[in-house]
Amino acid sequence: MREQYRTPQLTVGDLAPAPVEQFARWFKETADSPAIHEPNAMVVSTAAPDGRPSSRTVLLKHYDEAGFVFYTNYLSRKGAELTANPYVSLLFPWHPLARQVIVTGRAVRTGRDETAAYFRTRPHGSQLGAWASHQSSVIASREELLARYEELAARYPDREQVPVPPEWGGFRVVPETVEFWQGHENRLHDRLRYARVGDGGDGAGTAEWRVERLSP
């Protein structure tokens, strides 16, 4: 199976000065496309200290100049791997638009205030689910999981504030590279990558970037 991508050329002159600005442009176009179901779905790839990789799909919850934020149980496989080895890769697979964005960088935990502020925006059921699921652990049956959930639902009825689980929180991926991939026919794809070359030295962590074109 093979598809010929027929899309406009992507040039360095088309890019925004900083990767987060370019990401915002593409993200808006992706969110406006009826062909994309969850534009904020991304593949998060981590590696254990012995080098064994693992990947899973996670939802992006926030992005800005500081990085890309998602939330998880810190005791989950990805949480444990990122605690031991903070290097991470994010992949946004926007295949219907023949586009991908690949981010590499380091993951740092969000502060508890930021985590709590986001947790309070989650639906009540999702808040309970964060407590019910000991993410990545082995369970005997789905019934065991549902029993935990029902117990929590009785303890915290609807509209009652649910506390943030102590082992639950966010990771902010501080980018070192951000690649924008645009598919073209005959495999002559455009791959333009921002690479961090330093900080602005103003104490605010303002990044400086160079743009590289990669061979497809």
Q: Catalytic residues, which ones?
A: 187
Contact (Cβ atoms closer than 8 angstroms) between residue 184 and residue 172? no
Q: 128, exposed or middle or buried, with CB in 10 Å at 0-12, 13-18, 19+?
A: buried
In degrees to the nearest 10, what's the CA dihedral of 132, 136, 137, 139? Answer: 70
Q: 178, exposed or middle or buried, with CB in 10 Å at 0-12, 13-18, 19+?
A: buried
Phi first, then psi, for residue 10 (nearest 5°) are: -110, 120
In b/e form, how buried is each residue of 143-158, taking b as 16+ CB within 10 angstroms?
eeeeebbeebeeebee
Q: Please tell me the distance from the alpha carbon of residue 207 to that of residue 173, in angstroms, as a whole number.
A: 14
Helices (H), 156-211: none
Q: Return the SS3 of 132.
A: helix
In b/e form, how buried is each residue of 67-90, taking b as 16+ CB within 10 angstroms?
bbbbbbbbbbbbbbbbeebbebbb
